[in-house]
Structure 1
Amino acid sequence: MELVLFIGLQGSGKSSFFRERFAATHVHVSKDLWPNARRREARQRRLITQALAEGRSVVVDNTHPLIEEREPLIAIAREHGARVVGYVFESDLKVCLERNAGRVGRARVPEKALHITWRKLKWPSYAEGFDALFHVRLAPEGGFHVREWREGDESEPVRGPDA
């Protein structure tokens, strides 16, 4: 049983990656599924706790830019004896803005939200309590390239619109 945290900007491929790699095996928890709900954070924690208590693995498909946002979720996983795995999505702001511009309806987020997340984004480290970390990059031919996160990856810059 595991708790998987996705980390990266809106439009970096997180939800597509979930559908491709985890939809058949993990419970999908995302605040995007309840855009108008009140107390979304409490609801998310309740659903994660419930799934882990039932022995089911969970993917939390949100941006998780800050250590402080990841910390309580890692604590919930530890309380239930779950392995904690992070997938860090390459988050080039320009590319994510372009991908977001192609979205329709509620799937499209305000550009301001991407800029805010980009400014806050702090790469994870094993010291936070992750059992495994992976780097995910969209492949030019489609799909994803995944490799193990290497010590020092967290010092790589997050590219902005002028990179």
Structure 2
Amino acid sequence: MQLVLFCGIQATGKSTFYMQRFFHSHVRISLDLLRTRNRERRLLQLCLETQMRCVIDNTNPTRAERATYIEPARAAGFEIVGYFFHSVAAEAVVRNQQRPPERQVPERGIRGTRNRFERPSRAEGFDQLYFVRALGNQEFQINDWQDEVQ
């Protein structure tokens, strides 16, 4: 039983990373897909009740927002794995402009998320935490958290 939690501003490669690494093994819980917090909560609860591995594919910029997933998953006995997608807002804006128009996020949304962002920490309840950088061409560099936190 595993809950994977993505953290990062928009257009940092989170959904691409999901497709590459978790598509065949974990249910994707994404507000972009589900459209309402009620649907999101219900799907999360179903995954927890049925002990289904899942990925929270949202920006999750604050400790409080991450806690809404970590706390119930921990109570259900899940392992909690976090992936922090590092990006500079200007780079995310460029990547966002390369998306199809229907998937683009307003620039003010990217910058607003960046302004609210709190770096995750193991103290939040993560069993494992990783630092991810998009390298281009849908490739990623992944490092253990302790390698990046200095």
Tell whether the structures are fold-level matches, with TM greater than 0.5: yes
Q: Does 1:41 align with 2:37?
A: yes
* Structure 1 residue 41, shift from structure 2 partner: 2.0
- In terms of fraction of residues, the more helix-rich structure is 2
User: Is the CA contact 2:131–2:148 (under 8 Å) kept in the aligned structure 1?
Assistant: no
Q: Could you tell me the TM-score, scaled by structure 2's length?
A: 0.94
1:141: Cα distance to partner? 5.5
Q: CA RMSD in A?
A: 1.5
5+ residue gaps, structure 1, are 157-163
Percent identity between the two aligned chains = 39
What 5-or-longer segments of structure 2 have no aligned partner? Answer: none
Alignment-derived partner of residue 22 in structure 2: 22
Residues matched between the structures, number: 150
Match status 1:8 vs 2:1: no
Show the counterpart of 1:123. Answer: 119
From 89, 94, 103, the equivalent of 1:93 is: 89
Moved over 6 A (4+): none
Q: CA deviation at 1:142?
A: 4.2
TM-score scaled by structure 1?
0.87
Structure with the larger strand share? 2
Deviation at 1:73?
0.7
1:65 aligns with: 61
Q: What's the CA shift string for 1:86-106, capped at 9, x where partnerless?
A: 000012111100000111233
SS in 2 for 1:51: helix
Letter of the structure 2 residue corresponding to residue 45 of structure 1: R
Pick which of 83-92 and 104-113 moved more.
104-113
Give, as a single letter, the amino acid of the residue that structure 1 aligns with 2:126.
F
Following superposition, the deviation at residue 140 of structure 1 comes to: 4.1
Task: Provide closer, same or farther for how the CA distance between residues 152 and 127 of structure 1 changes in structure 2, counting only shifts above 3 A.
Answer: farther
Retained in 1: the 8 A contact 2:122–2:129? Answer: yes
